[in-house]
Amino acid sequence: MIWQALTFQLGYNATLVAIGATLLGIASGVTGSFLFLRKRALVSDAVSHATLPGIALAFIVMVALGGEGRFLPGLMLGAALSSGLGLIVIGWMIRNTRLTEDAAIGAVLSVFFGAGIVLMTVIQSMQSGRQAGLESVLLGSTAGMLRADALVIGAGGALVLLAVLILRRPMLAVGFDPDHAAVTGLNVARTDLAMMGLVMAVTVLGLTTVGLVLIVALLIIPAVTARLWTERAEVMVAFAGVAGGLAAYFGAAFSASAPGLPTGPIIVLASFTLFALSLAIAPTRGGLASLLKQSRFRRRVHRRQGLLALALGQPIHESFTLALLRREGLARADGEPTDTGRAAAAKALLDEARWAALRADPAHGLTATRYDGLTPIETVLTPDQISELDRHLPRPQKVI
């Protein structure tokens, strides 16, 4: 069943949903990574919750005008208007009051959502039956998705991607360093506005698939996942698009494969699974990588300390150090150094003495900060500088 869902064999409707969701996932991953770079990830939480009163009002207006209340483009317009208002209110609060951004986000999201809930109960009492399914905007439901809806989502996602392609340079510049971007002549406020507009568009597009409570996950998690894999912004944006698209595709397919698997939560959990995997195995920031790095560092420290102990003729009590030196053929089992061990030990001691001389000399102030007890001095000084340093060293002593 799941295999059929993944290969688009569950019928026309499920295929449509999977394609629409994948496009949405790509668009939200890409858009979300700019938001993440700008360090405003949680603004999307307010944006998404603030859509609810707009959706409800749009429904009421469309029914009052005698139309179909669940007309998706109409609901999307209402959602965009009220989340736009929410963004304006957040901006006003931060500029004009002493409240910080997190408080403004929380206040707007809870109050707008509360007002939306009030309007939803108004709708429930308006005409029984006709509001059926409006609750699906909370947590997303692709079960009753129409062909037109899927087309709207797909086209919207493509438009968002196009806009990102055009705006990526200013948005990256502002994301990295808004002050520098302003100095280079970029209009930071307008760029932020464009970014927020894209976030809003993704949120509105995601209403029917993921639902407004969880769309924020699709904006944040792929971006964070991508951040684990690369230090380059453009790569990260592309990667976030892939991660978001994959999560949405698997999520939509999986949720279509059995009943009782709501689309939104499944997509979020798929996204988190990708994140957790990345956290484990990503090359530099991953858990495995940092464990390796840590053990490599530990070995360097033990090796150096062991060599210094050999050089000074001190016994080595630490069994790990001894094992390390033995494995490299630097020491014997009883802790006595081999010939290569003696040479390496003398080298380490000389290195340490040179560093001591360097750190005592104010002229080398800046270089001295590089001292960590591990770095060989040849990597920071030229041979000329080293021989200059050596003139201040005491006479060489016989090692052991």
Partner 1 sequence: MMGAEFVALSLTPMLIGTMAAIACALPGNFLLLRRQALIGDAISHVVLPGIVVAFLLTGTVAALPMMLGAAGAALLCVGMIEAVRRMARIEAGAAMGVVFTTLFAAGVLLLEQSDTSGVHLDVEHALYGSLESLIWLDATGWSSLLDPVALAGVPPELPRMALALAVVTLVIGLAWRPLALSTFDEGYAATLGLPVRALGLGLVMLAALAAVAAFDAVGSIIVIAMFICPPAAARMMTDRLSRQVGWSVVFATLSAVVGYTLAGYGPLWLGYNNSVSAAGMIATVSGLILGVAMAAGPCRRRAGAASAV
Which residues are at the interface with partner 1 (CB under 8 A)?
Answer: 36, 39-42, 44-45, 93, 96-100, 102-103, 105-107, 109-118, 120-122, 124-125, 135, 138-139, 213-214, 216-217, 219-221, 223-224, 227-228, 260-262, 264-266, 268-269, 272, 275, 279, 285, 287, 290
Asked whether 400 and 337 are in contact (CB, 8 A), the reply is yes
Choose among 193, 155, 161, 160: nearest CA to 72: 155
What is the per-residue burial (b if ≥16 Cβ within 10 Å, else e) of 202-232? bbbbbbbbbbbbbbbbbbbbbbbbbbbbbee
Minimum distance, C-beta of residue 85 to partner 1, in the bound complex (Å): 12
What backbone torsions phi and psi does residue 372 show, to the nearest 5 degrees? -135, 10
Q: Minimum distance between the CB of residue 23 and partner 1, rounded to whole angstroms?
A: 21
Q: Which residues of 75-84 are buried (b: 16+ CB within 10 A; e: fewer)?
A: bbbbbbbbbb
Q: How far is the CB of 96 from partner 1 (least distance, A)?
A: 7
- In angstroms, the CA 319 to CA 321 distance is 5
- Residue 258: CB minimum distance to partner 1, A: 10
Nearer to partner 1, 27 or 214 (CB): 214
Please say which residue, 23 or 274, places its beta carbon nearer to partner 1. Answer: 274
Q: In whole angstroms, how close is the CB of 357 to partner 1 at the nearest point?
A: 37
C-alpha span between 205 and 36 (Å, rounded):
19
> 331 pairs with which residues across the strands?
337
Structure tokens, 345: 């030990």
Q: Which is nearer to partner 1, 197 or 287 (CB)?
A: 287
CA distance 191 to 53: 27
Of residues 272 and 371, the one with the C-beta less far from partner 1: 272
Instruction: Tell me the closest approach of the beta carbon of residue 270 to partner 1, in angstroms.
Output: 10
The CB-of-342 to partner 1 minimum distance in angstroms stands at 42
Least spacing, CB of residue 216 vs partner 1, in Å: 6
138 versus 246: smaller Cβ distance to partner 1: 138
Spatial CA neighbour of 175 closest among 290, 30, 331:
30
CA dist 284 → 237, 271, 287, 304 (Å): 18, 20, 8, 25
Q: Where on the phi/psi map is residue 142: left (φ > 0), alpha (ψ -120 to 50), or beta?
A: alpha
Nearer to partner 1, 202 or 358 (CB): 202
Closer to partner 1 by CB, 93 or 195: give it.
Answer: 93
Q: Which residues have C-beta within 8 Å of that of residue 195, sequence separation ≥ 6?
A: 31, 34, 35, 38, 167, 171, 174
Nearer to partner 1, 152 or 243 (CB): 243
Compare residues 93 and 207 and give the one whose CB is closer to partner 1: 93
Looking at the DSSP bridge assignments, the partners of residue 337 are 331
Max distance between CA atoms of the chain, in angstroms, equals 101
What is the closest distance, in whole angstroms, from the C-beta atom of residue 104 to partner 1 in the complex?
A: 8
